[in-house]
Structure 1
Amino acid sequence: MNLRCILQAGVFASAAILSQLSSADTLDRIKKSQTVNIAYRESALPFSYLSDSKAPVGYTIDICKKMVDALKKELKLPQLKINFLPVTADNRIEALTSGKADMECGSTSNTADRRKVVDFTIPHFFSTLRMMVKTSSGIKNWTDLKGKKVVFTKGTSTDKFILERDKVRALNMKLVEGKDHSDSFNMLETNQVDAFAQDEALLFGLKAKAKDPSKLTIVGDPLASEAYAIMLPKGDAAFKKFIDAEMARQMTDGEITKLHEKWFTKPIQPNNMNLAWPMGALLKETIRFPSDKVN
C-alpha cells in the first residue's frame, strides 16, 4: 500500500468517526433552526457554480431547491431558509461529517470509499473520466501522455484511475494537484501542464467558459463511469428516506428531465453558452427506475 492510499484510508476512518458523532436527526435540526444548510461548489458548471451576480446556481442547485420546497411542506415551515456553504472537492465530505451541511449539492460522484462516511441519494447525472488538452498539443489518448504533466483536482476520485492507467501503460506521468477545478483549468490554459483529467461533464463546462474554446479539446477513451448524487449525512435513515422519495418524485414527474434540458441544452450563464449535451442512456434508465444503488 503506497503512502497516498495510507493517508486516504486515515482520512476516511477519521471522517467515519465524525459522521457517527454528528448523525443527529437532521429533520429535527432543520425544524428547530428553520434553516437548511446546503454545501455547494463555486466552479462546477453547470451543476453548481456562481452566477454573474455571485449567487449559487446550476442543475444540482435547482434540484436541491426543490428538495427545500418539499421540506417546507413536510415540516409545515413556509419560512424555511437556505444557508449556502461554499466547499471544495477537498473539504466537501468534512462539511457533511462535521454537521456543517445537511446536504451537498454539487458534482460529487457516489463511490464505495465515500459511502463509508456519507450517504447518497438517487443519482441525477452520469459522466465518464476523460481529459482536456490544448488543441495544438497533438494529444489524442492516454498513451500520448508519456512523460507529460497531468493535473487533477485535489479531493476528487480522478487520481485513482490516472494512477492505474499510468502503472498499466508505464507512462511515467507527472501528476499535479489543483486546489479546485478553476485552479486545475488555469494550469492547463497557462501551459503549466499538458492535460487536465476530470469527469467530462465538468470539462465541457469549463471549456465553454474559456476565452477561446476552440483552443481546447476533450479527448481520451473513457476510463470510468461516475454517478453524481447529492451527499447526505451518514446513518440518518429518516432524512435519506425523505430525500430519496423527493428525488424519485422529481424524476417520475418529469422535473429532472426539464432541469436537464434547461442546464444542458439551452443557453446558460455565463455568456449564454449552450453545452448542447442531450441526456444519456444511464440517466434515462434511472428516471424510469429510480434507485440509489450504483456499481
Structure 2
Amino acid sequence: MNNSAILEGFTRGQGFLASSNDFAGAHAVLAGIPFDATTSFRPGTRWGPRAIRSVSEVLEEYSPYLQRELTGVPFYDAGDLDLPPGRVEASLERMEAAADAIFAAARIPFFMGGEHLVSYPLIRAAYRHYPDLAVLHFDAHADLREDYLGERFSHATVMRLVAEEIGPDRLYQFGIRSGTWGEFAYGQEETNFFMDVITPPLAKLVPELVRRPLYVTIDIDVVDPAFAPGTGTPEPGGCPPGEIFKAIQILQGANVVAFDLVEVCPAYDQSDITAILAAKILREAILAWGGKNDQA
C-alpha cells in the first residue's frame, strides 16, 4: 500500500512538536480523531487534537524522565481524520479502516481524541494485527455499561465493547473511581480492575504484561480535575499528572503497539492547562514507545 492510500481521509494542519513531514522515514504516526457524537455531559472533545497540537510548542523536545529527545524518534503527524457529522457507525468504520492501514504499514499509531468511544474501532484494528493483544485502560470511569440510554455505541460503553471484543481477562483498568453498581461488579469479577490506584499494581504486572503486545488508552479525566479541568466528564479525585508520567516510565520497555489519549475538551480548559498536560503525555508516550531513538 502506498503512502497516499494510507493517509487518505486525513486533513493536515499545524503539526505536533518536532513531527516530521516524511512518512516513509517515520517509525510512528500521530493521528487526530475529532469525534464527540455520543458525549453525555459537556461536548467539544472533537477540538481536542487541534488544541493539543497548538500548545505543544511550549514543551521542550527533551524528556528528563526518559532522557530522550523527539528528534531521535521520527514520527509523522497525519492530521485529523475526516468523519461524517452525526453518523456514529460510519465514523467508527472510518476510524477502524484508518487504524488498520497504519498497522499494515508497520507504523506505531498514536491517536488523539475525541471522546473515548474512538478507542473501540482503533482497538479492533489493533486486535486484528495482534491476536495476543492486551489493553491498558487509565480512566476515572469504568465505561463498562452494556448500553447508555438505549445506545450500544457510547463513550460510557466503550470498555464493555472492548472486553467483549478481546475478552475481559485481557482488559486492565487503572484509576477507576466512577461508575454504576453494575459496572463495578462486572469490572471486579471479569476484568483486571484497580479502583483508584495506578502505579503500584501496574509495576507488579510488568513481568506479565511485557511479554505481549499492548494497547494503552488514557482518558485525561483519570487525572484530578484540579490539574485537568478541560474534559467532558470531570470526576473529583484522581491522580496528579506525575503518576501518569511514572506509569509511562514503568512501561518504557514494554511492547506497546498503539496508544490513544482522549477526552480533552478545550472549551472548558482554563489557560490551556489540560491541553498542555495532554501534549506532555503524548511527548512521553512517543519517546517511550515510538520506535528508534539514537539516544537510547
TM-score, normalization by structure 1: 0.34
For the pair shown, the structure with the greater C-alpha radius of gyration is: 1
